[in-house]
Amino acid sequence: MLAAAQYDRRVKFWRVTAARDAAGVETSTLALICEAYGKASYGSNADRRVAAGTEAGQTVTVRVRSTANLRTVKVTDRMELRGDAAVYSIEGVVPVGAGAGDIILTGLSAKGAGA
């Protein structure tokens, strides 16, 4: 675990849920799983660029203290960091340490901003 002061970014974790609107069309919405403080590190886009020259999204790695709710987060979920204009698709979830250790999550934002 890191020192408490290093968990300085508020992170919201969202689950994508399917619903139907009044016309019966399937839509997806985001349901809040939980919020936590984490330590964020941003990666390089170089490893995400496509040969055709299209832009890649921004990568982020977030380390949070493990809780019962955070242990339910999976790669189909999303995360949003306070101060960022993007919602990140979670691409990796790795527990660190035994019991109530930390969880490291990696995410990728959509090209531009938002999910």
pLDDT tens digits for range 5-57: 888 899 999 999 988 888 988 888 899 999 999 999 987 655 545 433 455 67
pLDDT digit string (tens) for 81-94? 998 888 999 999 99
Alpha-carbon span 7 to 70, nearest angstrom = 15
pLDDT over 70 at 115, yes or no: no
Q: Provide the CATH number for the domain formed by 8-109 in this structure.
A: 2.40.10.270
| Complete DSSP assignment for the chain | ---GGG--EEEEEEEEEEEE-TTS-EEEEEEEEEEEEEEEEE--SGGG--TT-PPPPPEEEEEEE--TTGGG--TT-EEEETT-S-EEEEEEEEEESSSS-EEEEEEEEPSSS--
What does the domain layout of the chain look like in residue ranges?
Answer: 8-109
pLDDT given at position 3? 77
Whole-model pTM: value is 0.77
Does residue 107 contact residue 57 with C-beta atoms inside 8 Å?
Answer: no
Exposed / middle / buried, residue 99 (Cβ in 10 Å: 0-12, 13-18, 19+)? exposed
